[in-house]
């Protein structure tokens, strides 16, 4: 059975004080409802690792370089993230694709480098509003996933997490209905199943896009939704834990 994962992407938010307060609140109130993970900005990874080590809460980075090392000012390599105990790292997030022009091919390279470093990639997939309105959702998601499959093979998906995040629902207050989200999650799983039924049945697929405690339970009740990649709501410990409790 797939265990729910509720992961908080803090994006470019926080301070040393707020990070300490947020982690303390999460640790104090956590239970075994679902697996929890947080994705702080790079500069807070050491603090997060120190606060969460031994807690059962995982942590990871929001991005990684497509290069293993070298003269790439401002970049962070997978091996460096390994030094800080990252269990997961996001790749292909819609903001990286849209704001920084990251391609499917770059995402696939990052995915591979993370796995070589012993870090589980959280591969983000999703379409823009224009792509949804022109009925390109399945084409876009399949293209993004296939780029990774072509590089690393389906077996690599046995040690990763997938996350469907419709771009039009991120930070907008709009959310895909549970049925809309389920349809895409089922489609993603069907792509994997073409190569391996067992991996398709075991890989976790998260939903990301304005998830809140008010809509989490309905989303998580869908058969192919295995938790959430939470944005703004993950900065509020009460809201974040309420979302985790919605997995019951």
pLDDT of 242 reads: 96
Instruction: Answer whether 129's CB lies under 8 Å from 165's CB.
Output: no
pLDDT, position 54 = 94
Q: Is the pLDDT of residue 143 over 90?
A: yes
pLDDT of residue 168: 85
Tens digit of each residue's pLDDT (9 = 90 or more) over 200-209: 999 999 999 8
Rounded to whole angstroms, how far apart are CA atoms 206 and 34? 12
The two beta strands, 204-207 and 161-164, are parallel
Q: Which residues are catalytic?
A: 93, 165
With pLDDT > 90 as the criterion, what percentage of the chain qualifies? 90
Count, residues in the chain? 248
Question: pLDDT tens digit string along 168-197?
Answer: 887 777 778 999 999 999 999 999 999 999
Q: Which of 47-51, 68-72, 168-172 is least confident?
A: 168-172
Residue 48, token pair as written in the block: 């997060």
pTM score above 0.85: yes
Mean of pLDDT values over 211-240: 97
Mean pLDDT of 154-169: 95
Give the per-residue pLDDT at 174.
75
3-state secondary structure of 36: strand
Geometric angle at alpha carbon 150, from 148 and 152, rounded to 5°? 65
pLDDT per position as a tens digit, 2-42? 999 999 999 999 999 999 999 999 999 888 889 999 999 99
pLDDT class of 124 with cuts at 50, 70, 90: very high
Model confidence at 125, in pLDDT bands (50, 70, 90)? very high
Pair 49, 85: CB distance under 8 Å? yes
Query: Phi first, then psi: what are they for 81, rounded to 5°?
Result: -65, -35
Secondary structure (3-state) at 157? helix
Task: For residue 127, give the nearest of 173, 172, 184, 206 by alpha carbon.
Answer: 184
Q: What pLDDT does 232 receive?
A: 94
Q: Is 140's pLDDT higher than 90?
A: yes
Task: Characterise 101 by phi-psi region: left (phi > 0), alpha (psi -120 to 50), beta (else).
Answer: left
124 in Cβ contact with 102 (< 8 Å): no
Q: Determine contact, residues 36/58, Cβ cutoff 8 Å.
A: yes
């Amino acid at each position: 059975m797939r265990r729910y994962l509720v992961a908080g992407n803090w994006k470019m938010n926080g301070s040393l004080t707020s990070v300490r307060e947020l982690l303390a609140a999460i640790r104090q109130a956590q239970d075994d409802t679902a697996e929890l993970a947080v994705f702080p900005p790079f500069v807070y990874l050491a603090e997060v690792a120190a606060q969460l080590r031994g807690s059962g809460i995982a942590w990871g980075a929001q991005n990684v370089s497509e290069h293993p090392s070298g003269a790439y000012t401002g970049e962070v390599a997978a091996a460096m993230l390994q030094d800080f105990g990252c269990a997961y790292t996001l790749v292909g997030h819609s903001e990286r694709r849209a704001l920084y022009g990251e391609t499917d091919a770059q995402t696939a390279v990052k995915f591979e480098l993370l796995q070589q470093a012993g870090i589980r990639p959280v591969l983000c997939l999703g379409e823009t509003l224009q792509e949804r309105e022109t009925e390109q959702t399945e084409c876009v998601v399949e293209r993004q996933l296939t780029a990774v499959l072509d590089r690393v093979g389906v077996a690599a998906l046995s040690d990763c997490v997938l996350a469907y995040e419709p771009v039009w629902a991120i930070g907008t207050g709009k959310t895909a209905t549970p049925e809309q989200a389920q349809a895409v999650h089922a489609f993603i799983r069907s792509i994997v199943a073409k190569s391996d039924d067992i991996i398709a049945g075991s890989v976790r697929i998260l939903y990301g896009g304005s998830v809140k405690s008010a809509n989490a339970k309905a989303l998580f009740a869908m058969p192919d939704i295995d938790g959430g990649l939470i944005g703004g709501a993950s900065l509020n410990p009460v809201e974040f834990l309420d979302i985790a409790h919605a997995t019951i």
